[in-house]
Amino acid sequence: MTNQLDSLRQFTTVVADSGDFATMRTYQPTDATTNPSLILKAVKLEENRELVQKVIADHGGASASELASQLLVAFGHEILKIIPGRVSTEVDARLSFDSQASIERARQIIAMYKRAGIDRERVLIKLASTWEGIQAAKVLQAEGIRCNMTLLFCLPQALACAQAKVQLISPFVGRIYDWYKKDAGDKWDEAARSGADDPGVQSVRRIYDYYKAYDIRTEIMGASFRNIGQIRALAGCDLLTISPDLLEALASDNNPLERQLDPANARNKAPEWQASNEVAFRTELNNDAMATEKLAEGIRKFAADAIELDTLIGKARG
């Protein structure tokens, strides 16, 4: 009997949102995504101690930031031994408002992968969807370095990414859901705001419909899920990056799973074309309290995890 994970694979590329090698082997995703929080978690596992020590031994004279990048690449390299597709490796969130520094760090990461024998086509560079991050991605894409724009919470961010011709965007679902649930407080109605009515799901559908209606080639990868219902409601999205616990939930469910997002349907209800430039981006982002707050919060959290990773590496190198 076909389970929901296998059904999902028929119309959506399944991506593992994890730095755990065992998860990759168990669920056999096509691609994998990592972020500072996931790598920090993976670094703390005893089973990865040997890999961490090898990176430190091989690059003993490297700076803290370079050593952190080497560690991210080492995890990415191991993941690519398991999966057939691409791995996403994130630029330090502390560079989210510095285009040139983000470009330079991305080039360094790609060079590290090249020295490890990994072709750049198998790597996506993750950047925060700030204006500066998007402009960095525009430069990198022109150089043939493919980018995955993360911490994306609204259509204006997605439009700017499309103009930059980025390879892939990762609109978040769960963090949008979190914001609206917290904002509603005691008035939150879980049943009424689930499935297709989930605010995070609605945000991704809005972006999907716009992209498909105007034949924008940038891939859309729904991310940051809180429950299996959000995934079901986005079946048909180009890609979905899913945590290990939700991959397990899908694999354990044999109920039918139907496609919910379809390019043909999106073209039949084409939304109004919207201009995108820096002024529009900053104005519309500022007008969206949820997107503004969650973008800032996400950058702070990833930056804090990057600092903790630096500290762990420093202790490990002695």
Annotated domain spans of the chain: 4-317
pTM for this prediction: 0.95
Position 274 pLDDT exceeds 80:
yes
Identity of the residue numbered 121 = E
Cα of 229 vs its chain's centroid, Å? 19
Position 49 pLDDT exceeds 90:
no
Instruction: Provide the pLDDT confidence category of residue 270 given band limits of 50, 70 and 90.
Output: confident
Instruction: Provide the pLDDT confidence category of residue 305 given band limits of 50, 70 and 90.
Output: very high
Grouping H, G, I as helix, E, B as strand and the rest as coil, residue 183 is helix
Quick one: which H or E segment has residue 88? strand 87-90
The per-residue pLDDT for range 111-156, each reduced to its tens digit, is 999 999 999 999 999 999 999 999 999 999 999 999 999 999 999 9
Position 318 pLDDT exceeds 90:
no
Residue 187 annotated among the catalytic residues of the structure: no
Cβ neighbours for 145, distance < 8 A, ≥ 6 positions apart: 106, 107, 110, 120, 125
Instruction: Provide the pLDDT confidence category of residue 91 given band limits of 50, 70 and 90.
Output: very high
Length of the chain: 318
Identity of the residue numbered 156 = P
As a whole number, mean pLDDT of residues 281-310 equals 96
Look-up: residue for tokens 């993976």?
A: 42
Instruction: Provide the pLDDT confidence category of residue 11 given band limits of 50, 70 and 90.
Output: very high
Q: Which entry of 41, 44, 81, 126 is annotated as an active-site residue?
A: 126
Exposed/middle/buried for residue 71 (C-beta within 10 Å: 0-12, 13-18, 19+): buried
Backbone φ and ψ for 239, nearest 5 degrees, come out as: -140, 155
pLDDT number for residue 45: 86
Q: How far apart are CA 238 and CA 165, in angstroms?
A: 16
Topology, domain 4-317: TIM Barrel (3.20.20)
pLDDT number for residue 216: 97
Cβ neighbours for 161, distance < 8 A, ≥ 6 positions apart: 129, 134, 137, 149, 152, 169, 218
Cβ neighbours for 217, distance < 8 A, ≥ 6 positions apart: 165
As a whole number, mean pLDDT of residues 103-116 equals 97
Exposed/middle/buried for residue 170 (C-beta within 10 Å: 0-12, 13-18, 19+): buried
Identity of the residue numbered 216 = I
As a whole number, mean pLDDT of residues 301-316 equals 89
pLDDT number for residue 60: 77
Q: How far apart are CA 186 and CA 184, in angstroms?
A: 6
Instruction: Provide the pLDDT confidence category of residue 36 given band limits of 50, 70 and 90.
Output: confident
Residue 166 contacts residue 218 (beta carbons within 8 Å): yes
